[in-house]
């Protein structure tokens, strides 16, 4: 009976999602199977090249700086060029830059190419997140985001253990392996994923207003979420920045670190889906507060680690924080993003992780070199407490359940083989999703500086300027009138290193 219940739960978890989602899921899995650079760069620089923790932190910070530079531009590209070409450009560029990094020897060259890798690898995130929001119905989004996060960590669990063994013999093989798998992802995206960018419709001959970067930055509640995401990202980044350095300084080998960090992926693979089924309809405010505390104090416990068993225990604690926080945070971002501004909103949200990737290594390297790792882990506990308080204060005015969401339509942008709907008519969702909507825009004349304008010239008006008007937090739910006329909003995948 238990086996039958598990089989039924698994079937319910994967049923009803469009085929395009599974190709996107597959590309995510393949990409994470080759996640060598983000996991082992710190060990490569300190153990293989003999550099200091501060230099390793500087290189990781430049990797993060590259992500900061590309996040906003990639979000605009996803909205203007489309999700598919943005993914293809980003992933092929990532493959080339990762392979190049493996051959660099001079410290300046390593640092420069690491920044390029950060720029190219982060450029795909807004497009992936926006595409997932495009093709999945609102009621299925928490499940879809959890499945995608599950794929990230399934690949991470496998690659961490395997890459640890590879690192014992050849770091170059790890760099080239990641480049090859990233190139495979680019091919999958190009061959199997049609464009998903929603159609822009007109009402009474007037085009829908566009979303500018300025309107995103003026969205007070959304930027508050971005700020809290940054704090949590500072904590989670320590798993690939400070943790390997601290373990190496304590005499543990790359294989030891690989086994410990692989536990993170194994737990997420085992628990993400069942835990998501338990928390999907619970109060997101409490979930975000609890996850922030677990993250902070989970890393804080690392100060007391003296054996692999204790290190593993700390990983268990902060992994539970990831499992709870990921789909809940994704749902909150979904609620606050307008349909035609998904790329830009996701770009700004990705910026929080990119900025953390810039600052976390600098913070970790400086603190470890000057005061020791114990002070860094104590700082993580403090940051987690501040983030928990921030979530509680930010979300006090939001309603508890989906009944007050204000979502105007119950489904995603329809996925069908039919021709685009005539101008002035929003697409319907009467047919089950089988293929993506063609990316044509029903706009007779695009106003100057509107949605098609560049990032630096767009007006500060449009659907994104909605400070303080959001009405809920549950994943998959919509937002105020004018937010998402097709029932769609954006999604975030705030992965550690993803």
What structural domains does the chain harbor? Answer: 24-194+210-394 (1.20.1250.20)
Query: For residues 376 and 394, what is the distance between their CA atoms, to the nearest angstrom?
Result: 27
Mean pLDDT computed over 49-70: 80
Query: For residues 419 and 427, what is the distance between their CA atoms, to the nearest angstrom?
Result: 10
Residues with Cβ within 8 Å of 218's Cβ and at least 6 positions away in sequence, in order, are 460, 464, 465, 467
Contact between 426 and 413 under an 8 Å Cβ cutoff? The reply is no
Q: Is the pLDDT of residue 481 over 90?
A: no
- Residue 171: the pLDDT is 81
Please tell me the total number of residues recorded for the chain in this structure: 498
Query: For residues 463 and 344, what is the distance between their CA atoms, to the nearest angstrom?
Result: 12
Contact between 46 and 248 under an 8 Å Cβ cutoff? The reply is yes
Sign of the CA dihedral running 81, 87, 90, 95: negative
pLDDT band (50, 70, 90) for residue 275: confident
**Which range is least confidently modeled, 282-286, 296-300, 324-328, 489-493?**
489-493
Q: Is the pLDDT of residue 373 over 50?
A: yes
pLDDT above 70 as % of the chain: 72
DSSP string, 368-423: HHHT-HHHHHHHHHHHHHHHHHHHHHHTTTS-SSGGG---S-SSPSP--SSPPPPT
Residues with Cβ within 8 Å of 183's Cβ and at least 6 positions away in sequence, in order, are 91, 92, 95
Contact between 122 and 233 under an 8 Å Cβ cutoff? The reply is no
pLDDT band (50, 70, 90) for residue 451: very low
> What distance lies between CA 489 and its chain's CA centroid?
15
What are the structure tokens assigned to 303, written together?
């100060």
Q: Is the pLDDT of residue 363 over 70?
A: yes
CA distances from 35 to 153, 164, 422, 443, 485 (A): 10, 11, 44, 41, 37
Task: Please indicate whether residue 44 or residue 1 has the higher confidence score (pLDDT).
Answer: 44
Sign of the CA dihedral running 145, 147, 149, 152: negative
Q: Is the pLDDT of residue 437 over 80?
A: no
Most confident of 44-53, 125-134, 305-314, 465-474: 305-314
Packing angle, helices 141-169 and 254-279, rounded to 10:
170
Contact between 138 and 487 under an 8 Å Cβ cutoff? The reply is yes
> Which of 195, 249, 215 lies closest to 420, judged by CA?
195
Contact between 95 and 182 under an 8 Å Cβ cutoff? The reply is yes
Q: Is the pLDDT of residue 423 over 50?
A: no
Contact between 405 and 472 under an 8 Å Cβ cutoff? The reply is yes
Apex 321 CA angle, 249 and 119, nearest 5: 65
**Which range is least confidently modeled, 7-11, 232-236, 243-247, 465-469?**
465-469
Query: For residues 272 and 153, what is the distance between their CA atoms, to the nearest angstrom?
Result: 10
Mean pLDDT computed over 134-158: 79
pTM: 0.62
Q: Is the pLDDT of residue 484 over 70?
A: no
> Which of 142, 26, 201, 71 lies closest to 489, judged by CA?
142
Query: For residues 186 and 224, what is the distance between their CA atoms, to the nearest angstrom?
Result: 33
Apex 485 CA angle, 136 and 336, nearest 5: 70
Mean pLDDT computed over 102-107: 87
Q: How many CA atoms lie within 13 A of 251 on its CB side?
A: 4
252-263 pLDDT per residue, tens: 888 888 889 888
pLDDT band (50, 70, 90) for residue 466: very low
pLDDT band (50, 70, 90) for residue 165: confident
């Amino acid at each position: 009976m238990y086996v039958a219940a598990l089989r039924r739960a698994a079937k319910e978890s994967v049923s009803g999602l469009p085929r395009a989602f599974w190709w996107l899921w597959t590309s995510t899995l393949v990409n994470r199977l080759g996640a060598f650079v983000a996991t082992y760069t710190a060990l490569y620089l300190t153990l293989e090249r003999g550099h200091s923790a501060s230099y390793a932190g500087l290189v990781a910070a430049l990797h993060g700086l590259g992500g900061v530079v590309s996040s906003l531009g990639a979000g605009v590209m996803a909205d203007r060029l489309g999700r598919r070409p943005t993914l293809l450009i980003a992933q092929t560029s990532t493959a080339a830059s990762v392979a190049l990094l493996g051959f660099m020897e001079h410290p300046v060259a390593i640092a420069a190419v690491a920044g390029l890798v950060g720029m190219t690898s982060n450029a795909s995130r807004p497009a992936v997140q926006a595409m997932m929001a495009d093709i999945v119905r609102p009621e299925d989004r928490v499940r879809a985001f959890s499945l995608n996060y599950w794929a990230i960590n399934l690949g991470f669990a496998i690659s961490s253990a395997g890459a640890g063994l590879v690192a014992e013999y050849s770091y170059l093989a790890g760099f080239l392996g990641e480049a090859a798998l990233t190139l495979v992802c680019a091919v999958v995206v190009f061959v199997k994923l049609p464009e998903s960018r929603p159609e822009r419709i007109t009402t009474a001959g007037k085009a829908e207003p566009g979303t500018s970067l300025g309107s995103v930055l003026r969205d007070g509640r959304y930027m508050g979420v971005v700020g809290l995401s940054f704090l949590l990202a500072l904590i989670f980044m320590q798993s690939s920045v400070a943790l390997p350095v601290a373990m190496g300084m304590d005499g543990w080998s790359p294989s030891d670190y690989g086994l410990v960090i692989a536990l993170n992926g194994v737990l997420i693979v085992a628990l993400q889906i069942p835990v998501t089924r338990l928390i999907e309809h619970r109060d997101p405010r409490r979930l975000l507060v609890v996850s922030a505390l677990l993250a902070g104090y989970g890393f804080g416990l690392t100060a007391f680690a003296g054996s692999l068993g204790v290190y593993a225990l700390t990983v268990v604690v902060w992994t539970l924080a990831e499992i709870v926080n990921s789909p809940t945070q994704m749902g909150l971002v979904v609620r606050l993003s307008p349909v035609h501004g998904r790329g830009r909103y996701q770009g700004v949200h990705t910026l929080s992780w990119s900025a953390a990737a810039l600052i976390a290594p600098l913070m970790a390297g400086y603190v470890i070199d000057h005061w020791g790792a114990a002070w860094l882990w104590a700082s993580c506990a403090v940051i987690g407490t501040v983030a928990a308080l921030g979530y509680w204060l930010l979300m006090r005015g939001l309603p508890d359940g989906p009944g007050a969401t204000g979502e105007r339509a119950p489904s995603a942008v329809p996925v069908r083989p039919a021709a685009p709907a005539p101008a002035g008519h929003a697409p319907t969702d009467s047919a089950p999703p089988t293929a993506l909507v063609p990316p044509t825009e029903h706009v007779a004349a695009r106003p100057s500086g509107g949605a098609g304008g560049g990032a630096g010239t767009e007006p500060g008006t449009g659907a994104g300027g909605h400070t303080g008007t959001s009405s809920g937090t549950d994943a998959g739910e919509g937002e105020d009138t004018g937010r998402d006329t097709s029932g769609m909003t954006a999604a975030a995948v705030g992965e550690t290193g993803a």
